[in-house]
Amino acid sequence: MGTTRDHLRQGTRVIHERLHHHPSFSELMDETIALSGYFALLTRLFGYHHGLELALDSAVFPERPQAPPVDRRSQRLLQDLEDLGPSGSDKAPHTQTVKLAAIESYGAWLGVLYVREGSMMGGRALAAKLDHLFGTQLAGRRFFQGGGGDGAAWQRLCRALDALVEPAAQDQALKAALASFELFDAWMMPREPITRSGV
């Protein structure tokens, strides 16, 4: 078996590819999304990212002091929702948050974090598809645009994945990563397609 990162990348390729065509992103991809639909999309994404952060924070592995930190990506989502204006901040985006089962191993913890951090990698391309809403402004698309520390966070995670060499732990990571992808797919579906204008 290669590195845990290879194992994860190969093992999740099919579902990752499928998510590129997820209906919730179609109007964003087509650059036709309206503000109302964009607000709904960010709200739903907040529920996913915040839920993952809560689950990652509540699982502690004292024998693994080198675990990478979990960045507060959901805060960028909240900032975007606020930037969308008073009508946006009224809508209390934090009412619905995805619930994860307790993360019981460090391998699984890294698998969840892999999906979370990896989901940011296509973000910048998505941010570029919002010019029709925001012109040249960053406000409103900070989440997709990402921050200066994202590359370093990804490198830290990759180092932690490289250090995970036990096959059983690698399998735990893959199982958790697949479950996190599936959860994303399901969580984003209920109001399919949630980015439809006027939703």
Stretch that binds ligand HEM, among 4-12, 31-39, 65-73, 189-197 (CB under 6 A): 4-12
- What's the gap between Cα 6 and its chain centre? 20
**144 forms part of the interface with ligand HEM (CB under 6 A):** no
Give the whole-angstrom CA distance, residue 77 versus residue 74. Answer: 5
Contact residue for ligand HEM among 4, 7, 11, 25 (CB under 6 A): 25
Stretch that binds ligand HEM, among 14-22, 33-41, 74-82, 129-137 (CB under 6 A): 14-22
Torsion angle defined by CA atoms of residues 198, 39, 194 and 49, in that order, rounded to the nearest 10 degrees? -170
Give the whole-angstrom CA distance, residue 109 versus residue 63. Answer: 13
Q: Are 27 and 197 within 8 A, CB to CB?
A: yes
Give the nearest distance from C-beta 173 to ligand HEM in angstroms. 12
Give the whole-angstrom CA distance, residue 46 versus residue 56. Answer: 15
Give the whole-angstrom CA distance, residue 129 versus residue 93. Answer: 23
Phi and psi of 187, rounded to 5°?
A: -65, -35
**119 forms part of the interface with ligand HEM (CB under 6 A):** yes
Stretch that binds ligand HEM, among 18-26, 66-74, 99-107, 135-143 (CB under 6 A): 18-26
Stretch that binds ligand HEM, among 86-94, 116-124, 137-145, 191-199 (CB under 6 A): 116-124
**181 forms part of the interface with ligand HEM (CB under 6 A):** yes
**187 forms part of the interface with ligand HEM (CB under 6 A):** no
**Residues binding ligand HEM (CB under 6 A):** 5, 8-9, 16, 19-20, 25, 114-115, 118-119, 121-122, 125, 181, 184
